[in-house]
């Protein structure tokens, strides 16, 4: 498992439970202070399926939300699939208020995301 610590956020990269799946586990707040690092880390991985586990993210700001939308666009353009999993209620509410809940792909858990995307 590789890990990067960037401005109060920790991003761990590991293979998923199925071939072709890469999981990024994010711990800590995603903010303008670290969203470039998050974006760079997410773009490094070219697996057919990218799962971003947000269980450890208590909050994010609008810059970080923009970086999640960037992941969406990057995966769409590259013909890859992605999902956000373990999204806390606070982030779900942010997605709803900002109107991106219909754009961002979310699943309650990693196994559910893997099953749906494969």
pLDDT in tens, 73-94: 999 999 999 999 999 999 999 9
In contact, 37 and 68? CB cutoff 8 Å: no
Residue 5 is predicted with a pLDDT of: 46
pLDDT tens readout for residues 38-64: 988 998 888 999 999 999 999 999 999
Residue 7 is predicted with a pLDDT of: 56
What are the backbone angles phi and psi of residue 89, rounded to the nearest 5°? -60, -40
3-class DSSP string for 80-94 = CEEEEECCCHHHHHH
Joined tokens for residue 4: 């990067």
Place 2 in a pLDDT band, splitting at 50, 70 and 90. low
Architecture in CATH for domain 2-117: 2-Layer Sandwich (3.30)
pLDDT tens readout for residues 5-41: 445 899 999 999 999 999 999 999 999 999 888 988 9
């Amino acid at each position: 498992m590789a890990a990067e610590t960037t401005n109060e956020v920790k991003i761990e990269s590991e293979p998923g439970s199925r071939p072709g799946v890469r999981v990024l586990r994010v711990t800590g707040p995603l903010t303008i202070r670290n969203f470039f690092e998050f974006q760079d880390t997410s773009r490094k991985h070219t697996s057919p399926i990218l799962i971003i586990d947000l269980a450890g993210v208590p909050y994010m700001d609008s810059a970080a939300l923009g970086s999640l939308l960037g992941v969406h666009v990057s995966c769409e353009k590259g013909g890859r699939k992605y999902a956000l999993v373990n999204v806390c209620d606070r982030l779900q509410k942010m997605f709803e208020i900002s109107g991106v809940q219909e754009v961002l792909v979310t699943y309650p858990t990693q196994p559910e995301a893997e099953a749906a995307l494969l």
